[in-house]
Amino acid sequence: MKFQINRSHLLEGVQDVMKAVSSRTTIPILTGIKMEVHSEGMVLTGSDNDISIERHIPIEEAGNVNIEVAQPGKIVLSARYFSDIVRKLPGETVEIEVGERFETTLRSGASEFNLIGLDPEEYPRLPQVEEKEVLMIQGDLLRQMIRQTVFAVSTTETRPILTGVNMKLEEGVLTFVSTDSHRLAKRIASIDNSTEGLAFQNVVIPGKSLNELSKIVEESSELVHIVVTNNQVLFKTKNTLFFSRLLDGNYPDTSKLVPSESKTTLVLSTKEFLQAIDRASLLAKEGKNNVVKLATIDETNIQISSNSPEVGKVFENVTTQSMQGEELKISFNAKYMIDALKAMDCSDIEIWFTGAMRPFLIRPTEGETVTQLIVPVRTY
């Protein structure tokens, strides 16, 4: 193998596939990045078995030559060293040449690296996914749906299925749901561009995969193609294939958890409420549960409070835009509330309470695309 490549394109590609490479893998070949060059361009691959990323760099793009191939071939190079080296090389281009025993020379400017490569035939093959039934979604919408739900996945392995986000498609409506059993986050969106009749229910994508995917999908309206198979999901953008394994098991039916009516309804400014909770949680962190209390005062005021015996107390008055229904005193985890409020993406929210011991619901005053549910804490 011998070729010359534009260094900044190579760096971008390497940094993308690096997101799938884990330093803690038990499979030595997966500490490397696979690089394959053929007449059409270059393919970089990184994987930790759960996530695999394949990145294409075309020979030419918008009239500019990215790669000059003297001899096609493939090699696996240590991801850790390769990315550092490409980042720091001095020239605008890099010449890469691989010898018979995988010894690899990188030349750029007055710099030359000789790296010990690994046998590319040992690198595991990525899943073959046929693009028969495709769901298409704008990149920026996909990123938003991930951000609004992924924080609520479980971080413990008590119920492994809860470490993922449940993705459903029914009658043109895409739903992301996550819960760690103390709170739930749900986002829905109408999807126009999918294969007719396409539907799925029990697709559960690890939260970690979605976090990495978010870093790769661009904040643009360009369409991402999603293909679901038995045990894999593929997200495909212009130059990148992102594979994630799916979680085994049945995702619980969460629809019954969401209350359909309210006994106490508050309408609040998201920002003002968030800042008050944030301040109250300063003293709540000392304890184990980070608990703050909310009490209705009158039709236009609620009080947020917290108490840490060794440090002190805090009282926050928050103005409501409206308060309807029964008086209420309730306690909850401030962190869950902060996470939920940050994911609302709207200036005003509505909270539905159905009693001090029942989960309560947060949604935008306009539209019902985001729903957040929090289970209260027993203190009053």
Binding residues for a copy of itself, rule: CB under 8 A, are 78, 81, 84-85, 88-90, 104, 110-116, 275-276, 278-279, 282-283, 310-319
CB 351 within 8 A of CB 265: yes
DSSP state of 377: B
- Which CB atom, from 85 or from 177, has the smaller least distance to a copy of itself? 85
Residue 49, CA distances (Å) to 84, 154, 225, 377 in order: 23, 21, 21, 39
Q: How far is the CB of 281 from a copy of itself (least distance, A)?
A: 10
CB atoms within 10 A of CB 84: 12
Report the alpha-carbon distance of residue 354 to residue 361 in Å, rounded: 9
- Which CB atom, from 89 or from 150, has the smaller least distance to a copy of itself? 89
Bridge partners for 244 per DSSP: 51, 233
Report the alpha-carbon distance of residue 94 to residue 97 in Å, rounded: 10
- Which CB atom, from 105 or from 289, has the smaller least distance to a copy of itself? 105
Q: What are phi and psi of 356, to 5 degrees?
A: -70, -15
Bridge partners for 136 per DSSP: 225
- Which CB atom, from 166 or from 296, has the smaller least distance to a copy of itself? 296
- Which CB atom, from 62 or from 110, has the smaller least distance to a copy of itself? 110
Q: Tell me whether strands 232-236 and 32-38 are parallel, antiparallel or unpaired.
A: unpaired
Q: How far is the CB of 220 from a copy of itself (least distance, A)?
A: 34
Q: How far is the CB of 36 from a copy of itself (least distance, A)?
A: 20
Q: How far is the CB of 314 from a copy of itself (least distance, A)?
A: 5
CB atoms within 10 A of CB 113: 17
Q: How far is the CB of 317 from a copy of itself (least distance, A)?
A: 4
CB 179 within 8 A of CB 185: yes
DSSP state of 277: H
Bridge partners for 242 per DSSP: 53, 235
Q: How far is the CB of 88 from a copy of itself (least distance, A)?
A: 5
DSSP state of 171: T
Report the alpha-carbon distance of residue 70 to residue 93 in Å, rounded: 14
Radius of gyration for the alpha carbons in the chain, expressed in angstroms and rounded: 25
Is 62 strand, coil or helix? coil
Residue 4, CA distances (Å) to 58, 69, 258 in order: 13, 7, 57
The letter for the amino acid at 24 is: R
Q: What are phi and psi of 58, to 5 degrees?
A: -70, 155
CB 59 within 8 A of CB 41: yes
- Which CB atom, from 90 or from 287, has the smaller least distance to a copy of itself? 90
- Which CB atom, from 113 or from 325, has the smaller least distance to a copy of itself? 113
Report the alpha-carbon distance of residue 92 to residue 165 in Å, rounded: 42
Q: How far is the CB of 90 from a copy of itself (least distance, A)?
A: 6
- Which CB atom, from 109 or from 249, has the smaller least distance to a copy of itself? 109
- Which CB atom, from 88 or from 215, has the smaller least distance to a copy of itself? 88
Q: How far is the CB of 292 from a copy of itself (least distance, A)?
A: 13
- Which CB atom, from 307 or from 371, has the smaller least distance to a copy of itself? 307
Q: How far is the CB of 216 from a copy of itself (least distance, A)?
A: 25
Q: How far is the CB of 92 from a copy of itself (least distance, A)?
A: 15
